Amino acid sequence: MIRLKDLQELKLRGEKFSCLTCYEATFASVMQAAEIEVILVGDSLGMVVQGQSSTVPVTVADMAYHTRAVARGNTHALIMADLPFMSYATLEQCLTSSRKLMQAGAHLVKLEGGLELAPMIRSLKSAGTPVCAHLGLTPQSVNVMSGYKVQGRGDTAGKQLIDEALQLAQAGAALLLVECIPAELAAELTQKSSVPVIGIGAGAATDAQVLVMHDMLGVNLGRPAKFVKNFMLEADSIEGAFVAYHEAVKGGHFPGSEHTFSA
């Protein structure tokens, strides 16, 4: 079983690791055969499983249900589960929601936001719950951001993102995840961060990559994002696509320049 200390050791050795979203037991088992190190039970299930227009309608009960399903099919990967929209608006809500996901089988929880998350991260760590802090494009805030846009462009915005990420790591975040930020910014953060950095649409220099499973299998319902690659095009099975993705991430071959954003 992969543990947080294993991911930290990979970072120290300069070795990358792979992460994919998963929502049920069968795909979790197939990912296990492909040696995917981290499974994210993402609130993206609202869009790819439930057919919602965003992640906002997803509930803690939804997340707990799918986390239990993934846990039943997994004996290898570290399971990370998203705390959904408005389930951690207060510290009390955060602790209650996190307890439900950890008891459902998660090994750590992921929260979206910036420096305002620091008190919650400290409290969760004290309560025995590891945290991944998600910065950059945060889909739960899509209505505030007025759409899905690249974040961290410009010296001021870039410096703020790095400063906040490092402070969240200092507060106790075990992992950082950055989405849709310039590759140069993600590389700088990864170099400065003492904890592993997972990227999506953030270039190849991060310690790990994550994609939504449906996207990398080429079954997304809409137009795929720039950072998406269809790994089914070079595989003869779903397991083969998972293996191809895992090997491309481990080898530093994915993402390519065509999948990244510049400053």
Point out the residues that are catalytic. 179
Distance of CA 199 to the CA centre of its chain: 7
Residue closest to 134 by CA, chosen among 158, 165, 162, 159 = 165
Q: Identify the sign of the CA torsion 197, 202, 204, 208.
A: positive
* Tokens representing residue 39 in the block: 């499974």
Contact 175, 7 (CB under 8 A): yes
